[in-house]
Amino acid sequence: MDVELAHKIEAAESEYLRSRVESLAEISGNPYGARVFFNADFPCFQVKASPSPMFNRIYGDIASDPLAMLKLLNESAERSAVTPLIGKSSALEQCVVLGEARLERLRGWTHLQLVCAIEKVVLSRHSFEIEEVTPNTLALFAEVHAGGFHTKPEHRLLNQASFAGQMSDGRLKIYVLKAQGVVVAGAAMYLASNGITYLGTAATRKDARGYGCHGALISHRIEQAKKHGCQWVAATALASSQSRRNLERAGLTASHAQALYRLADS
């Protein structure tokens, strides 16, 4: 495992997720209770209205200052805040000790981080119509995304709002794929400040799966990353998923595994 590159990938993912929380925090009155705070130089974030591990994360140097991590995890225990740990899949234990506390691995949240140098990617040809989302078409992407991830009705507006605010700064790009003029798939891409393009969340309508939509969105986003001069492209996928296989066809290979941990019995 290339430790330096792995940390850059983690930083890119964190920046992407933080940008979505910042979008929520910037809404007038902050109705979702979103905030970004710091553990030394590490930005952490929390959204009171959402139970998602995507939006409630604590970062820090677990080796040099575990007590600071533990303090923030305790303070955020009401939201079941998580912290990501990385390494080889076989080395990520079910439980780890942090100070005098025990952290347990969150079930279903161990993923592979995949990466490829931008000049080594393999692009596939497709005939789908893909276009960049605008504020006027964001709801179409949000609908497909919510369906793909089984987002509860009470969290759908929150999820859509998390994508809205950061579209204007140019780092977050969202694309939708159409079949016969109807949006059936969509995906996000984040141009991180460290030169890594992070291929964020992607979803395809159930009745449109198996026709190459995800692969087409991977190639399209990589093409856009090239145009923006990015050095690396990275993405996250479950080890046994079709998403991983699609990413590997584009030339991405596993860098490391990431597992999310939270305080036991929190």
Asked if residue 206 belongs to a domain, the reply is: yes
Query: What CATH number does the domain containing 220 carry?
Result: 3.40.630.30
Q: How many domains does the chain have?
A: 1
Per-residue model confidence as pLDDT tens digits over 145-182: 999 999 999 999 999 999 987 666 789 999 999 999 99
Asked if residue 209 belongs to a domain, the reply is: yes
Asked if residue 37 belongs to a domain, the reply is: no
In the numeric block, the tokens 């692969």 are attached to: 215
In the numeric block, the tokens 């709002």 are attached to: 161
Per-residue model confidence as pLDDT tens digits over 229-242: 999 999 999 999 99
Asked if residue 207 belongs to a domain, the reply is: yes
Write out the two tokens for 12.
């890119």
* pLDDT, average across residues 32-51: 95
Instruction: Return the pLDDT at 167.
Output: 62
Identify the band that residue 1 occupies on the pLDDT scale cut at 50, 70 and 90.
confident
Instruction: Return the pLDDT at 166.
Output: 62
| Domain residue limits at 153 | 117-256
Identify whether the C-beta of residue 92 lies closer than 8 Å to the C-beta of residue 222.
Answer: no
Q: What is the pTM of this model?
A: 0.94
Identify whether the C-beta of residue 65 lies closer than 8 Å to the C-beta of residue 58.
Answer: no
pLDDT over 90 percentage in the chain: 86
* pLDDT, average across residues 107-119: 96
| 3-class DSSP state of 226 | helix
Per-residue model confidence as pLDDT tens digits over 47-90: 999 989 999 999 999 888 999 999 999 998 887 899 999 999 88
Asked if residue 185 belongs to a domain, the reply is: yes
Asked if residue 52 belongs to a domain, the reply is: no
Identify whether the C-beta of residue 35 lies closer than 8 Å to the C-beta of residue 7.
Answer: no
Instruction: Return the pLDDT at 47.
Output: 97
* pLDDT, average across residues 119-145: 93
Asked if residue 244 belongs to a domain, the reply is: yes
Instruction: Return the pLDDT at 99.
Output: 83
Asked if residue 204 belongs to a domain, the reply is: yes
pLDDT at position 266 over 60:
no
Round the average pLDDT of the chain to a whole number and report it. 94
Instruction: Return the pLDDT at 168.
Output: 62
Identify the band that residue 46 occupies on the pLDDT scale cut at 50, 70 and 90.
very high
